[in-house]
Structure 1
Amino acid sequence: MNNDNYANANGELENLHYEIPQRLLRHTPRPREVVFMLTRTQLAIMYITWAVVRHHVHQRVHQLELPFPPYPPHPVWSDEVRVMMILWVARERRMFEMEMAELEYILGLGGAAC
């Protein structure tokens, strides 16, 4: 490989001022630059489903003698909304983990705040 800028010019210096196309200068959005919006209906479905999940977990832990209720049918999401839901759930999981780390720190139970 030749690192000399002019080595491959073959005596032609006309391409020295070549402009890089703007599409090549765009960067991939960083996670904090990506914004997604869920509709009120989608958020309502998530929070209602979350309440069902909390009930299921509570019953598994505290009321083992009761029959376990069936799971509700899965909502049908478009691919775009499905990806947004995955990101939403991941964000909520991370928020919960951060809250628990803060709680441990504030109560003096070890661990460091995030």
Structure 2
Amino acid sequence: MEAELEMIEKNNTWQLVERPFNKPVISVKWVYKTKLNLDGTVQKNKARLVAKGYSQKPGIDYNETFAPVARLDTIRTLIALAAQKEWHLYQLDVKSAFLNGVLKEEVYVEQP
């Protein structure tokens, strides 16, 4: 949990403000996951702080949503092209990439 909160603070994900009485506030919860090794032993425990966005109402709390992910047919095309051209493929994971989005509107979230 400490690592998650450190990453949130490091990325300036939020700013502590007085709770507004005229704005909806989204509550949060902790989600825990245990990552296992192939032999079944515990590799590490992970904790993620998630906003309960499912409580928001379209047209009231937000107007549109967007998730920057590639379509499956685009990925398949790129892999086929790489195979044809004998290119090397590499994979990467951007840790806490979801924390780097910029919002145009103000969103209020409860403190954990």
| Bin for the TM-score computed over the shorter chain | under 0.3
TM-score with structure 2 length normalisation?
0.25
- Which structure: greater helix fraction? 1
Comparing both chains, which one has the higher relative contact order based on Cα–Cα distances under 8 Å and sequence gaps of 6 or more? 2
- Structure number with higher strand proportion: 2
**Which one has a bigger Cα radius of gyration?**
1
